[in-house]
């Protein structure tokens, strides 16, 4: 069976595509000395004061509302009454985001045109070269969400948790809202969790 040149090119381009990927979510939590105070009363969700100017949470950033909303929804599910201010407790959020952008890669397809003259006449040939290695991985986004719950009046933290995962730029979880929802669900699943234990969540 002979394939046309467009069919060969299409197959080559498809072979160069990078499959979407996202890792499991790595979750670590620490429970304070008053676990009975968790999951009840009113709570305010706000950015961590020392890192409010971080790029992901900078003023006007479209990521900050996504993570605030995701965390607030999980806290409500746990039994908290989420308020804009004056709550019994405060949930402080930090987000660390890193993007790995690979350097330029060789194109997965090369096309060459050649002419020849021989004893059987002249002709023109079209050659297609395929780099089976593909065009290299797409950018990889690594996000980590950290949440600390403490009494609004101050004092020791009641609970702290961190969740992180990475995903390629063509994954559904490259979207900030999807990433926020996934991290928040993993972080607050089986709340408050075993103190100091790190688990992997699908």
CA 21 – CA 139 distance, rounded (Å): 11
Does any domain span residue 10?
Answer: no
CA 57 – CA 165 distance, rounded (Å): 18
Does any domain span residue 116?
Answer: no
Confidence band of 55 (pLDDT split at 50, 70, 90): low
Average pLDDT over the chain reads 78
Match 């089976």 to its residue by tokens. Answer: 132
Does any domain span residue 48?
Answer: yes
Does any domain span residue 88?
Answer: yes
Residue 53: give its domain's CATH number.
3.30.160
pLDDT of 64 above 80: yes
- Other Cβ atoms less than 10 A from the Cβ of 53: the count is 9
Does any domain span residue 178?
Answer: yes
Q: How many domains does the chain have?
A: 1
pLDDT of 40 above 80: yes
Does any domain span residue 129?
Answer: no
Exposed/middle/buried for residue 69 (C-beta within 10 Å: 0-12, 13-18, 19+): middle
Residue of 32, 29, 39, 33 whose CA lies nearest to 88: 39
Span 11-18, average pLDDT: 47
Reported as type and span, the H/E element at residue 71 is helix 63-78
Sign of CA dihedral 175, 176, 177, 183: positive
Does any domain span residue 114?
Answer: no
Q: With both helix axes pointing from N to C terminus, report the angle between 176-188 and 63-78 in degrees, rounded to the nearest 10.
A: 30
Half-sphere exposure of 176 (CA within 13 A, CB side): 15
Q: What domain range is 92 assigned to?
A: 20-100+135-201
pLDDT of residue 104: 56
Does any domain span residue 150?
Answer: yes
pLDDT of residue 43: 98
pLDDT of 188 above 90: yes
Query: For 10-19, 60-69, 145-154, which range has the lowest pLDDT when averaged over its residues?
Result: 10-19
């Amino acid at each position: 069976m002979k394939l046309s040149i467009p069919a060969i090119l299409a197959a080559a381009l498809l072979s160069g595509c990078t499959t979407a990927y996202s890792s499991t979510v790595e979750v670590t939590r620490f429970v304070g000395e008053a676990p009975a105070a968790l999951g009840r009363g009113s709570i305010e969700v706000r950015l961590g004061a020392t890192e409010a100017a971080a790029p992901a949470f900078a003023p006007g950033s479209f990521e900050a509302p996504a993570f605030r909303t995701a965390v607030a929804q999980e806290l409500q599910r746990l039994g908290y009454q989420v308020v804009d201010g004056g709550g019994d407790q405060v949930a402080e959020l930090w987000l660390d985001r890193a993007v790995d952008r690979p350097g330029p890669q060789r194109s997965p397809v090369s096309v060459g045109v050649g002419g020849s003259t021989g004893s059987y006449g002249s002709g023109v040939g079209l050659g297609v070269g395929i780099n089976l290695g593909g065009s290299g991985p797409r950018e990889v986004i690594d996000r980590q969400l950290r949440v600390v719950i403490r009494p609004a009046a101050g004092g020791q933290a009641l609970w702290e948790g961190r969740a992180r995962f990475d995903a390629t730029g063509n994954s559904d979880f490259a979207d900030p809202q999807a990433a926020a929802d996934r991290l928040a669900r993993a972080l607050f699943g089986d709340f408050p969790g075993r103190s100091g234990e790190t688990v992997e969540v699908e």
